Amino acid sequence: MDKKISTILIISGLILLLSLGVIYFLAIPAYKEVGAQDIQIQQLKDKIDDRNNYYTTVESQVLALEAAGWSSKKERIEINFISSPFFTVKLNEFFKTLVTGSGMTLSKITSSPAISVKTSSQTTSTSSEVQISKDTSDAQQETTTTSYFSQIQGPVKKVSCNLSVIGTYNSFKKLLADMESQTRIITVNSISVTPAGQETGKNASNLSNFSLAVDVYSY
Amino acid sequence: MAIEIESVKKGGSGKENIALVFSILVLLASFGFYFYYSQVVLSQKKVEVSNLNSELANLGQEDIASKEAELALAGKEINDFKVLFQNNPKASAFFVVFQEWVHPKVSYSGFNFDIALRKISMSGTTSGFQNVMQQIAILDQEDTIDGYQISNVALSESGAVTFDLDLIINQAVLE
């Protein structure tokens, strides 16, 4: 009988050992794998939430743009951000219309090829010797223009144009005001004024020649 | 006596049987635990992961790319227009202030205006030195002028005084 008891106890012990083996080698890894899956599920849920939030933000921004009337405003300012093979031709026509509308005559227009604004010169300096000045500290003046072109995000290019127009001083002031009120941005770089009679040899009364160097922009 | 011996034997055999049954129960529980986690819970989790992955893959594929592109383009155009517009000098403003400080008896010609440098060069003509001095006094008082230079002052035979005037105007005038 003792032998039978011992056999039962040994079998029980072996079964318990087998149970520990099942727990250690099968059940615990399965439990850990479930835990890993839980972490993956949580990460996926977080990712979905993040993406949903992002899409919601995109949607709300698109709606905000639409509510702000972006489509109509875009049409107005887009003239600064378009480019076409006929850009120069259209530009010449634009300036002709503008000059004529100001009561002046466009005698000549030249334009340079479009170049990226980011590659254009950014620093200018000058020194002026002031003989009579209200502030002697201004005698040596260095103007460093921190270029705002570095803030440009898009592929903005500029076309430099030289306009020669003939008209009166008041017409020219109107032309400048008209240029500044356009949705097409026109940057006037320099202005030169000479009496109209100087070049034509005629006595041209109050007419003057105005030379303007301007920049206009495109993408 | 026989009864006593038999009762001892029964008690001992019962404990071993309980141990055996307990160990079998533990084994069954171990397998049950393993099968529950590996076959039921884990497969559910895998299905859930698969569903979430497909949900993630299908999320916003419809038109989000076009909306993103629209927003990016709008952002660029708004920013670029703002930068160009805000930094565009208003040359016409100079002519408003010019009329305020120009001496009525001095006429100017040969006008050159470099807007980036804010520098204006011109030639003045007047009937006497007094007008030039008065013009200088006006320029001294003028807040819109940062600095000026008068040079090549000359008196012609007809009594006219000519001079060259270079000005640096204040940045605020062009804003």
Query: Other C-beta atoms within 10 Å of A158: how many?
Result: 20
Query: Which tens digits make up the pLDDT trace of A118-138?
Result: 776 444 443 333 344 454 344
Considering only the beta carbons, identify the residue of B52, B68, B109 that sits closest to A41: B52
Cβ-based contacts of B67 with chain A (< 8 Å): 58-59, 62
Query: Which tens digits make up the pLDDT trace of B75-128?
Result: 988 999 999 888 889 989 888 888 888 999 999 988 999 998 999 999 999 998
> Which of 3.40.50.1860, 3.40.718.10, 3.40.50.150, 3.30.70.60 is the CATH number of A79-127+139-218?
3.30.70.60
Query: Other C-beta atoms within 10 Å of B27: how many?
Result: 20
The per-residue DSSP string of B46-91 comes to: HHHHHHHHHHHHHTTTTTHHHHHHHHHHHHHHHHHHHHHHHT---T
Q: Is the confidence metric ipTM above 0.95 for this complex?
A: no
- % of chain A residues with pLDDT over 70: 83
Query: Which tens digits make up the pLDDT trace of A87-102?
Result: 888 889 999 999 999 9
Q: Do A15 and B27 touch (CB under 8 A)?
A: yes
Domain boundaries, given as residue ranges, for chain B: 1-62, 92-174
Cβ-based contacts of B146 with chain A (< 8 Å): 135, 138, 141
Query: Which tens digits make up the pLDDT trace of B1-18?
Result: 455 545 444 555 678 888
- Residue A151 has which token pair? 């803030």
Task: Give the pLDDT score at A135.
Answer: 47
Considering only the beta carbons, identify the residue of B52, B71, B115 that sits closest to A45: B52
Q: What is the pTM of this model?
A: 0.69
Considering only the beta carbons, identify the residue of B17, B49, B81 that sits closest to A40: B49
Contacts of B32 (CB under 8 A, 6+ apart): none
**Under CATH, which number does the domain B92-174 receive?**
3.30.1360.100
Q: Do A188 and B84 touch (CB under 8 A)?
A: no
CA distance B156 to chain A (A): 20
